[in-house]
Chain A
């Protein structure tokens, strides 16, 4: 027998090659791993393929086996809404879409799809909230309550003890316990990331009724909250440095160095056509020194070919001036083999005579997120694998970079549309997957573009001085037309289903921002704020303010806070009568504020006290006095960072030339629906109740908004809140 084996073996050797070739062809079908092994590459390929087949098979079996259990579970434990004629609701959020502009473009035939949609159901202004800001308005959108119930009044909130700012929507804490190992501090727990927006988003309520939601980039959804569905966070997801977006600008031009808002400028040198520097990352929280982590890069300039060759994190790529790189993945290494993954893009503004390079804020890599940016956590990984890397930071369009003029309008627009396209892919993927349930997707480009290009609509805008007023004068026209194209594609995809309701809406409108009002300077001028040195100016974040003589202060974009004893760290105004009188006094004086350089124009169309606007449990966190700025006016850039400049009203010279932080009644948002709107005065606060109503889900008792699909306010409502609470959103 043994000899027979030898003979057989010898004879079959000559056929070995043929057999292997056949084996390769049959790879994965019949051969075992060892038989199919042709080097490690093929070994991996085979093993991976086998693993995929195995995993998907196991998942399929489990799915089938578990389905009846899930079905019974849902039957027993899930709340059951009454049957309605709606299976699917799609909400396209277009941040800042101005109803006046939309109407004008529709009338001019430039938004035919919007026109068609409005003819199906209706077109209305959508009343926003006060303060008329995205974080505030989108929080009301999600929860159906006013700011004093969801606790969002501004992008920033102050720490009353220190007068220093904090993000209003999220608190990113430190790890409570660490273990010291040499120079390292090993975290023994997770970093606490706490959502400060209160109340309950309506998709969570839908989830309790078994309705699945796809929530894409709705502002103030960071950190992501659990619900029955998928969610990708948006505003205020930070960059890897923990900021709301810090670009880096490298230049050989010494005149361009110095401080930059929202970014870092670095002076570099070209030596033998080579520039070497590094991309700054987060501080190293794993060491005592907490040094800034960085990843070096090298740029070799080929002046003849007018291109630059980059070496960055093991990747090489070539860029011509005014060309964005794709997203480049990089890893910052805090030590002990740990990597913090990020994404960034490079853009050469100029190669000659000076080398000028813009590097976008380093974003959390969605494929390997350093912090949770989606629910479930692997949803961002899924999206990144499916459609490639994408911007994750809350403010994906780098308005600061344009505001600081490190990039120009063309570069900004290219970046904005690139982000928009990423978002469109996510939306259409969700539309493919959601046949029953809710899809909400918010596009920010509408807001950012209008902020940065509003000056083109007003020839004598101060920001136009010395700047281009021609090249991009159609940027906003193009924006609305392209948005209309998006609406058309969504309509085509979903509206053949009679059980689908499509709504297109925005959180606020827009107006010109030509003059900045420094409320701190106004407070100094009127004796409410004092400086230690007796001057009329102070630095950022009240540097130089004499709190023992200061009765009121302002920062952020929402209003004025009183320096109240016991509430503020160095408060001097007594609660009660004194504070009430002071509020009224400031309100009345502010109402009278006039702009002498604008023929005595009124600065505020109205001024509100928090107590008049809000009744909810978090009203104490609101500014005490909220100026309702008139068209053209807004809190100045300096006052927003707690600075007094001595000048109360000054020209806004920044590219950020349009705004909406004014009297909320002047900047309503937009609502267009495929289903008939039954009320004439819908508000963003009504969106949540309206979506619940479409699905037949009762409105919870805490919700203030009412369905605008019902002329009366009965219907699906479970409970009616007191009528006076309606004042909270105007």
Chain B
């Protein structure tokens, strides 16, 4: 499963990498546009287009009916009830295609999330590095080795009651590093990125299952039944701004893909 996930991740690395040197909004917008277009086409062929058009038309009619009978409260309320009923019908018609496009959209959202939600550490910034060990493993057996460019600032704080060991680390130089966690003879690595580039980031490496690897595609999962349950590293939130206004990446994705879909829906001939 990881091979497939990795293939998908590599594809997104390539696609978004094309815009790596630009403002992150550019790559995000391109992906949003492509997603908008593809999902619109998928919607066209997976939904009952005729019924959707009919439901929308009826909603329009009942809203006009409310306006037509402004002086008659009874007719107005009846029209409102009809509009609500037609609206429910419309929403129910949206569910089947929504379920179908759900899986690819979730995959895309996760791929975007690992790139746009967080940014790498900057030189000089510190963060917590945490290892959670499996039950029965003594946190005292856990050691951390860091490469040149990363400094461990504090001695390990071991908490046997919750099977955890924490360190504070500092990023010294830009680069991509692998920190090694050793538990007795077993060794596990965790990728740490320092710099300003747009890249996928994994905050947590754990023993993910089939679904979990799709949700954490930035780094391979830890082997099952290994003595380390999870290795975590907190990255700061990425700030994206347009004309000085901070934007959440999900909002950009939502607006751009919907706007693009709206712009081409007539051309594609889709009722949404």
Contacts and interface: CB of A to CB of B under 8 A. Distances in A.
A48 B56 contact: yes
Interface in A45-96: 45-49, 52-53, 55-56, 59-60, 63-64, 66-67, 70, 74
| B36, B234, B265: residue with the most chain A Cβ atoms closer than 10 Å | B234
A27 B98 contact: yes
A274 interface: no
Interface stretch (B101-109, B148-156, B169-177, B192-200): B101-109
Contacts of A7: 130, 132, 204, 230, 232
Interface string B251-270: 10010011011100100011
Interface stretch (B1-9, B71-79, B138-146, B179-187): B71-79
B266 to A, nearest CB: 9
Contacts of A39: 35-36, 39-40, 42-43, 98, 101, 105, 257, 261
Contacts, number: 194
Q: Label chain A's interface by main secondary structure.
A: helix
A494 interface: no
Interface string B81-114: 0011001001101110111011001100010000
Interface string B224-237: 00000010111000
Interface stretch (B16-24, B209-217, B239-247): B209-217
Contact of B76 (A60, A382, A386): A60
Contact of A385 (B64, B98, B166, B272): B64
Contacts of B65: 382, 386
A376 B80 contact: no
A63 B106 contact: no
A321 to B, nearest CB: 26
A6 B68 contact: no
Q: Label chain B's interface by main secondary structure.
A: helix
Contacts of B132: 7
Contacts of B204: 6-7, 9-10
A131 B166 CA distance: 103
Interface in A20-35: 20-21, 24-25, 27-28, 33-34
B57 interface: yes
B234 A27 contact: no
B234 A5 contact: yes
A385 to B, nearest CB: 4
A649 to B, nearest CB: 52
A41 B66 contact: no
Given A6-B234, A39-B42, A49-B91, A14 B208 contact: yes
A40 B40 contact: yes
A: contact size bracket: 35 or more
A34 B251 CA distance: 7
Given A33-B254, A41-B40, A379 B97 contact: no
Contacts of B67: 59, 376, 378
Given A6-B234, A20-B106, A385 B40 contact: no
Contact of B216 (A13, A59, A379): A13
B124 interface: no
| A44, A55, A70: residue with the most chain B Cβ atoms closer than 10 Å | A44
A381 B63 CA distance: 11
Contacts of A6: 130, 203-204, 232-234
Contacts of A16: 106, 110, 215
Interface residues of B, number: 75
Interface string A127-153: 000000000000000000000000000
B99 A24 contact: yes
Nearest to B54: A388
Given A14-B211, A24-B95, A433-B69, A56 B58 contact: no
A381 B62 CA distance: 11
Contacts of A386: 58, 61, 65
| A20, A25, A314, A385: residue with the most chain B Cβ atoms closer than 10 Å | A385
A40 B257 contact: yes
Contacts of B61: 382, 385-386
A121 interface: no
A21 B215 contact: no
A712 B94 CA distance: 65
Contacts of B97: 41-42
Given A38-B98, A41-B47, A60-B80, A10 B206 contact: yes
B233 to A, nearest CB: 7
B262 A44 contact: yes
A3 B232 contact: yes
A41 B67 CA distance: 28
B234 A44 contact: no
B161 interface: no
A379 B69 CA distance: 11
Nearest to A70: B71
A43 interface: yes
B134 interface: no
B128 interface: yes
Contacts of A44: 258, 261-262, 265, 272
B58 A385 contact: yes
A17 interface: yes
A63 B73 contact: yes
A6 B75 CA distance: 54
Contact of B215 (A14, A64, A66, A379): A14
Contact of A41 (B91, B251, B261): B261
Given A3-B232, A386-B58, A41 B76 contact: no
A28 B132 CA distance: 39
A13 B212 contact: yes
Given A24-B99, A56-B66, A34 B94 contact: no
Contacts of B59: 48, 52
B83 A38 contact: no
A40 B262 contact: yes
A212 interface: yes
Contacts of A2: 127-128, 234
Contacts of A230: 68
Nearest to A44: B272
B14 interface: no
Nearest to B203: A6
A675 B84 CA distance: 40
Given A39-B42, A41-B39, A52-B59, A47 B258 contact: yes
B258 A40 contact: yes
Contacts of A63: 66, 70, 73, 76-77
A49 B98 contact: no
B30 interface: no
Contacts of B137: none
Contact of A27 (B91, B269, B272): B91
A43 B258 contact: yes
A40 B269 contact: no
Given A10-B216, A10-B232, A59-B66, 19 more contacts: A3-B234, A6-B203, A9-B204, A21-B99, A24-B99, A24-B102, A27-B94, A34-B254, A40-B36, A40-B272, A41-B39, A42-B97, A43-B261, A44-B258, A212-B72, A230-B68, A378-B67, A433-B69, A433-B75
10 contacts: A9-B204, A13-B212, A39-B39, A39-B40, A41-B94, A42-B97, A56-B63, A59-B80, A382-B68, A386-B65
Interface of A: 2-3, 5-7, 9-10, 13-14, 16-17, 20-21, 24-25, 27-28, 33-34, 37-49, 52-53, 55-56, 59-60, 63-64, 66-67, 70, 74, 212, 230, 314, 376, 378-379, 381-382, 385-386, 433
Interface of B: 35-36, 39-40, 42-43, 47, 56-61, 63-73, 75-77, 80, 83-84, 87, 90-91, 93-95, 97-99, 101-102, 105-106, 110, 127-128, 130, 132, 166, 203-204, 206, 208-209, 211-212, 214-216, 230, 232-234, 250-251, 254, 257-258, 260-262, 265, 269-270, 272
**Top 7 nearest A-B pairs by Cβ distance?**
A40-B261, A41-B43, A39-B39, A10-B204, A13-B215, A385-B61, A45-B94
